[in-house]
Amino acid sequence: MNDLRHLAAQLRVDSIRCTTEAGSGHPTSCLSAADLMAVLLANYLKYDWSHPHLPNNDRLIFSKGHACPLLYAMFKAAGVITDEELLSLRKFGSRLQGHPNPGVLPYVDVATGSLGQGLPIGVGMALSGKYLDKLPFRVWVLLGDSEMSEGSIWEAFEKASYYKLDHLIAILDMNRLGQRGETELGWDSKAYATRARAFGWRAIEVDGHDLVAIDQAYREALNADGQPICLIARTEKGHGFAAVADKENWHGKPFDPEQAKKAINALGGLRSLTIQTAQPEALQPPNSFREKALELPRYEPGSKEATRKAYGDALVAVGASRAAVVALDAEVSNSTFSEEFKHAFPERFFEMFIAEQQLVAAAVGLSVLGKQVYASTFAAFFTRAYDQIRMAAISNANLRLVGSHAGVSIGEDGPSQMGLEDLAMMRAVHGSTVLYPCDPNQTAQLVLAMSDLAGISYLRTTRAKTPVIYPSGESFAVGGSRILRQSARDQVTVVAAGITVHEALQAYETLMLENIAIRVIDAYSVKPMDGRTLRTAAQDTQGRIVVVEDHWPEGGLGDAVLDALADVPMNLHVTKLAVRSMPGSGKPEQLLDAAGINADHIVKAVKNLA
């Protein structure tokens, strides 16, 4: 216990030192959790620091990412960063950024700092350990009490209980104070415990500054049977320095040098303990599944099939050939057709129900442990999880998101179900890939291509059955496009994707009857865009371009085309046909017409330019 007291004091002192040196940070948020982390680091965390990605390692997530100076102090105590590096906190070029970032630190699995995300990601990691890898590592998640107001936290509580993730341990640092004052429940640990138990968790209330009690609580947590565990630790924000302890208006404020000196003296001065953490068990490699040769589905040209159905068929084929493929869905698998994968590989399919934030967060947790994750729901509903998506990019996660029922062409369901923002939303994600196929054979090839893509990739699928226009086996490169109609006398270039490709082909036939030739480009890769083909077409058609998309005009296909043509040294005459007024219910053909994006409107736009 004496060693633990010294370690806890060292973690507090180092959290103060590095934040004072940086001139910014959240030292009081670190001081409250230092005892909890000292006991965890010294007695319970099983981790091979020389091999941070070892499958048997426990995982530690600071969901309250603003307390990362405490995490970095733990790294120093474990001997994997120096004191000099600790004091580089928040400086330009330092690995120790203001919130944890796995892109620069191998001991960090996921980016946090946007509250409410650590526990949902931990659910994904725990799913991987229990059901896929079949390894007994534990997932430890440090939670702040302020983030317990986030709905995403309770989505995680619900799913962890449903899947009986008894090796997931949440540690609630209940220090009473948030950014601007007392939290919703303050120190009402019984309320937190009641809620946790109502969600099917085992709740353990503990004094978060009693090292013996903390040790006993962790030991008890290791003996859980079928239930995830929540330790509810009553702590004091700023504990250890009386001048700030449990006082408001100290959130996110570093101590000045004089205050830091007093605080360090109050904590007993500097220490330089190095802790030997327990090694993980030397178990067998992670569980794996059988693989067989890839056989993508084939669709006959001239027939019809929905690209959403082709996604489901292709996912089965890719999953059969790649054991790392895992699928998640948000209780619409009979519409996204991910149910095809569920029937074929139930052990690699996880239902997240109507919890889109948990859907994406679980996908992140699975991804960082090496799984090739495809997560699907209606395109419109990914908007609920946009924070998780953008944070996934910071985490360097490799996610394959698939949104069905996009655009007005879904028909009678009306605007609440129509994904009309998704292309803009996904294009804005750093390093993302955005794909929008128009036929099932193309879809199958792009589903396969996604399996090897780094970062966040998004596939937009269509509800209605559409004509098969490409032969099976034809390849489609990410960043490419297809010229479907072309001649030496083309007057206008028409750029389309997905459902509007078929409208553009109808428009081509109508215009040919009037001896007006157009070039039709299927821009299936919305990001990255095939700028070379677009620039050539623009030059060949004297800069006359019509872009037609089943999406709002802001940020979608039209803007992607304009971005690709920004450096073309000629006058451009670009008409963007897009959904510009709020749609209602109706037949798909009625809604495409009302939105001004069907074949008739393409014909009119071409004539106006030609």
Q: Is 281 a catalytic residue?
A: no
Q: Are 439 and 466 in contact (CB under 8 A)?
A: yes
Q: How far apart are CA 426 and CA 415, in angstroms?
A: 19
As to burial, measured by CB atoms within 10 angstroms (0-12 exposed, 13-18 middle, 19+ buried), residue 339 is middle
Determine what percent of the chain falls in helix, strand and coil, rounding each to the nearest 5.
Answer: 40, 15, 45
Return the number of other C-beta atoms located less than 10 Å from residue 1's C-beta.
9
Q: How far apart are CA 173 and CA 65, in angstroms?
A: 12
Of 150, 356, 421, 503, catalytic: 356
Give me 438's structure tokens.
Answer: 């128009």
Return the number of other C-beta atoms located less than 10 Å from residue 83's C-beta.
12
What residues have CB less than 8 Å from 265, skipping those under 6 apart? none
Q: What number of residues does the chain have?
A: 610
Q: How far apart are CA 394 and CA 102, in angstroms?
A: 8
Q: How far apart are CA 44 and CA 277, in angstroms?
A: 8
Work out the angle between the directed axes of helices 68-77 and 2-22 (0-180°, nearest 10): 120
Bridge pairing between strands 168-174 and 399-404: unpaired
Among 233, 129, 248, CA closest to 177: 248
φ and ψ at residue 563, rounded to 5 degrees: -60, -40
Among 498, 363, 391, 372, CA closest to 434: 498
Q: If DSSP states are collapsed to H, E and C, what string results for 571-597?
A: CCEEEEECCCCCCCCCCHHHHHHHCCC
φ and ψ at residue 541, rounded to 5 degrees: -115, 25
Q: How far apart are CA 432 and CA 371, in angstroms?
A: 18
Strands (E), 162-271: 168-174, 202-207, 229-234
Q: If DSSP states are collapsed to H, E and C, what string results for 323-366?
A: CCEEEEECCCHHHHCCHHHHHHCHHHEEECCCCHHHHHHHHHHH
Tell me which residues are annotated as active site: 356
